[in-house]
Structure 1
Amino acid sequence: MPFLLSRLACVAVQSTARLTSVFDAVSGRAIGKTARRWLYLVHRWVGIASCLFFAMWFLSGLVMLYVPYPSLSSAEKLTGSEAIDWAAVDVPPPLEGGYLPQELMLEMRDGTPVWRVAQWDGSHVTVAAHRGAVLPLVDALYAARVAGRFAHATVERVDHLARDQWTVAGGFDRHRPVWKVALADASGTEAYVSSSTGAVVQVTTRRERFWNWLGSVPHWLYPTVLRQDQSAWRQVVLWVSGPCIAAAVAGMWIGILRTRIGARRFRGGRMTPYNCWMLWHHIAGMVGGVFLIAWIFSGWLSVDPGHLFGGTKPVKAAMRGYQASDQMPVVSLDRLRAVGSGAVIAQLIDNAGTPLVLLAYRDGRRSAVDAVMLTPSRPTTHALMTGVRRLAGSTRLIAIDRLTTPDAYWYAVATLPQLPVLRLRFADPPQTWFYIDPATGEILKTVDKRQRAYRWAFDLLHKWDLGVLTMYRPARDMLIWLFSIAGGVTSISGIWLGWKRLRR
């Protein structure tokens, strides 16, 4: 009897094991079938909407390749500025107990020399550099004079506004409201004059405005009504591009599943079962799918979800120690008149304990002179290293390099960045690198390990700004056009297939 019971128990266990294995196999197939069905559903229905965005992003991205979003460059600002009237400059630089503020420069404001002061608390003031001068209010007549002089054109119209499509970014907040001045020139120029500084802060042309409505505005989801609310705009970008990533990944997965390369091909030896529009969608998706996913994923990263790539900056106290560690010596305005003849900006700096006056001219030339002797001068390498050590604290300096060619983090597209520069690498926890202008001691850029990761995750995948490509613009353009065409075919065929599906 015990033997019989043990045999029955053994048979029961074996039967249960067989049933369990069968159940697991059936369940696995069922789960796989369900997962595959959801894969197709996500790609089909989310893909209908995402293909509209993909088509818009690819086409607008090609426009942006040649017409970027309008911005007033440093060169344009210099070209449109008045030469300093040195004969009228008789007010010494406004210092804080003998120390420099965060920024101090001399320039013209509607025919009057002024000191532009940026305080360490973030405030900005403008002080007349001529005794007894009264700075006029920024009204319509003022804006018309300044904009007309800046662009060398007559004025057609002046409007007062808080923001529009070309001044919607947060960088213009301290200039609001602005005066928009339409000029009667062949380019259809519109200049924007700050109500706080009285300076031109933005310039657009008819060509830039037209093409940006087809380029940057749709590409960045940038209409004024949305972009004026930074947090709302950021959430829209995240929640629009997120599902698009899912649709693209699902499509790539389906494309791989429906491709047969080996001996077990579809009827007629074909690698794909599709015809007509589905065939185009499949082939273009397989050719450009990886790049489409890279572009949309990096676009999602453009607003830094979760603030994963927010870098660490030197604290303001440390920056103050680098830029204004000692009292600024008295600058002789009488002697500076002769040295700075023709300059449009004269900026006082004291980087790394080296007091200088930087002079900038309309043609883009810049020169640095000693603040006391007013002869050409520059910080010594020792002074720069000592100054930067104040920023990095007691952290060990790993290396100092003099760059005469761009590196992976100091570069420009289709041109050369400012060179030479000094690159200082420190062994602090964020692994900070400083890029410094050896002629002035200005800290041009700081990058830590998070920002260097972001450079590869976003800039490379979205802008294709690999060094070898940035210096050979035609090659970069050809690659972007090639994969944009593949992405465009994928998107447009997906839109057509989705439209046919919805009509059923």
Structure 2
Amino acid sequence: MFKKITYAIHRVLGTVISLLFLMWFITGLVLIYKSFPDVDKTQRHDHRICLTDSLPNIEDVLAEIPQDEKLKSIQVNQYKNKGIFTVETSKDTYYISSQLEQDDEPISKAELEDIAQSWVQASIAKIDTLHKQDIWIMYSKYQKELPIYKVHFDDSAKHQLYLSSRTGEVQQLTTRNERLWAYVGSIPHKLYIPVLRQHTRTWINTLTTLATLSFITVITGFILGVRAYTKRYKIQKKWSTPYRKFSYKWHTLLGFAFSLFLFTWSISGMMALQKVPQWLVKTHTNYHIPQKIKGKKVDPAVYPLDYRKLQEAFPKLKQISWTSFQGVPIYEIIDGKEVLHIDASKDSIQRLNLSEAQICQAIESIHGQETKYNIQLIHHFEEYYLPWKRDLDLPIYKVSVESEDENTYYISPETGNYKHLDKNRKARKWLFNGFHYLHIQWLMERPVLWTLTIWFLALGCIAVSGTGVWLSFKFLIRKLKKKPKKTC
């Protein structure tokens, strides 16, 4: 009975899952080299306009905001040929010009075309107004920018540029070649089907369910293979394949050889968009880290360093953001293509360099002054602090806290940016990044070996999936050809 149930589960699920596995591994190899189109940050910074407008006193800007609203963030950029302050509060977002006027008008067609042609030097074929997301702007962050203008260019690369109707900020840029690779890579791999992807929770549940079914398919296949080989051994007293047919024999042999990796990739698929469940690795305390680690925001009106001095010191200044770290006021600026952090606690311009004492203050604000911890400045990457798709800061303060959750922090003295890990997050590093991308320090430090390993394992799993697809196809053909029994 057990054999029949296991065999039925493997055969029924395998008919669908083998095809999905085949697709996932082929598209996964494509994804290594061709990711989903996105605007590179350096490219975005390069196209920003320098702050050339005469800027007002920051107190006068803040006076334009209702006093009963809590300030969340403030930033100034140059667009519409003037400096525009974007002020986000607890209730609304305000756009205030350098002339201290509310600027709520959408971008004009002439301004839109100027921005578009600064990005792509080609004639504009047409401009669409999107009131809902399409396949290239499916992330939730684009929702607040709607309506979005989609600019089609009449050039050989067939560029398509997406612009916010409110600010003219570039949201997305794709070429025909990038879109083609996405259709054979990231879109099928991540099930970026618009009707599914626009419902985030449904999309996540679908991917998780399919990965879970894949896990069950692998487990049942392994059990059936072990049972078949064991039974063969009991009869012949030697290990040999119990199958004579080519497809059955190689599906079983390859399945054994790559079952571990099919197993781990199924688990990583289940973890791709999910947190590690608490029943598996428990988080004992919620320390409210995002609210505490950088401390209470400093009022922009009391920054000792006047932000207008930055305009004098950095001729390629394009953006200023007001931020802070444990009472230290900071200006995050874009100078040309580079992002810099300026210590605003003094009247002179200096790059940010947080001290060990300031890092300790942040840790104690989270865990209490009595907590024991170890802090060190490291100049190298390590297992839980590895670059992948973006650069990571070095040197970095590493703080290991003695706690039930084994909290570890990596805090940059040059930016105040941080990465936090506890036992649950460390487990996810292995269950997702480690299993799915082989994002393991030893391999990442040997890129040629990492590439060869990924290709070898993926091709092996493609072979297992391919033989599974062929067996499923033959099974379905037999079922279709089978004549129904005659009834009286």
- Do the structures match in fold with TM over 0.5? yes
Which of 58, 66, 86 in structure 1 is aligned with 2:25? 58
Q: 1:306 to 1:445 in 2, by over 3 A?
A: closer
**How far apart are the structure 2 equivalents of 1:374 and 1:187?**
47
What SS does the aligned partner of 1:259 have?
Answer: helix
User: Residue 433 of structure 1 corresponds to which residue in structure 2?
Assistant: 408
Q: Give the distance between the partners of 1:411 and 1:204, measured in 2 at CA.
A: 29
Q: 1:80–1:362: 8 Å Cα contact kept in structure 2?
A: no
Q: Which of the numbers 146, 158, 161 marks the counterpart of 1:188?
A: 158
Could you say if the C-alpha distance between residues 261 and 466 of structure 1 is closer, same or farther in structure 2, counting changes exceeding 3 Å? farther
C-alpha distance 307-158 of structure 1, shift in aligned 2 (>3 A): farther
The one of 455, 463, 467 equivalent to 1:493 is 467
Distance 1:64 1:292 in 2: 18
Q: Is contact 2:304-2:344 (8 Å) kept? A: no
Residue in structure 2 matched with residue 270 of structure 1 by the alignment: 240
Residues 1:412 and 2:387 aligned together: yes
* Alignment correspondent of 1:92: 58
Q: TM-score, normalised by structure 2?
A: 0.86
Give yes or no for contact 1:245–1:297 (8 Å, CA) kept in 2: yes
Task: Report the structure number with the largest CA radius of gyration.
Answer: 1
* 2:8 paired residue number: 41
**AA of the residue aligned to 1:155:** I
1:472 is aligned to 446
1:349-368 aligned at under 5 Å gives the runs 349-364=323-338, 366=340, 368=342
Which residue does 1:128 correspond to in 2?
Answer: 97
Aligned twin of 1:390: 365
Preserved CA contact (<8 Å) 2:129 2:150: yes
Indicate the RMSD between aligned Cα atoms, in angstroms.
Answer: 3.1
The percentage of counterpart residues that share the same residue type is 19
CA distance in 1, matches of 2:460, 2:388: 24
The reply to whether residue 285 of structure 1 matches residue 255 of structure 2 is: yes
What's the CA shift for 1:401? 2.2
What amino acid maps onto 1:301 in structure 2?
A: M
Q: 1:435 to 1:147 in 2, by over 3 A?
A: farther
The AA in structure 1 aligned to 2:192 is Y
1:130: Cα distance to partner? Answer: 3.7
Q: Distance in 1 between matches of 2:215 and 2:346?
A: 59
Q: CA deviation at 1:65?
A: 1.0
Partners of 1:344 and 1:227 in 2: how far apart? 34
Q: Which residue of 2 aligns with 1:79?
A: 46
- Alpha-carbon contact 1:414-1:472 (below 8 Å) kept: no
- Residue 303 of structure 1: aligned partner: 273
* Per-residue deviation, 1:218: 1.1
1:168 aligns with 2:138: yes
Q: Counterpart amino acid of 2:449?
A: A
CA distance in 1, matches of 2:408, 2:93: 29
Residue number among 229, 241, 252 corresponding to 1:259 in the alignment: 229
SS of equivalent to 1:400:
strand
Which amino acid in 2 is paired with 1:294? T
2:122 is the counterpart of 1:148: no
Shift of 1:342: 0.8
Q: Which amino acid aligns with 1:92?
A: I
Partners of 1:156 and 1:236 in 2: CA distance: 38
**Amino acid in the other structure paired with 1:361:** D
Equivalent pairs counted in the alignment come to 467
Which residues of 2 match residues 206-245 of structure 1 at below 5 A? 206-245=176-215
Q: Once the 2 structures are TM-superposed, how far is the Cα of residue 334 of structure 1 from its aligned partner? A: 5.0
> Which segments of 5 or more consecutive residues in structure 2 lack a partner in the other structure?
479-488
Q: State the alpha-carbon separation in 2 of the partners of residues 122 and 431 from structure 1.
A: 37
1:348 aligns with 2:314: no
Higher helix share: 1
User: In structure 2, what residue type is equivalent to 1:492?
Assistant: G
8 Å CA contact 2:287, 2:367 repeated in 1: no
Q: 1:394 to 1:124 in 2, by over 3 A?
A: farther
Q: Does structure 2 retain, via aligned residues, the 8 Å contact 1:353–1:383? A: no
Q: Quick check: 1:318 aligned with 2:288? A: no
- State the alpha-carbon separation in 2 of the partners of residues 344 and 385 from structure 1: 33
Partner of 1:443: 417
Structure 1, unpaired ranges of 5+: 1-33
CA contact (8 A) 1:339 1:374 kept: no
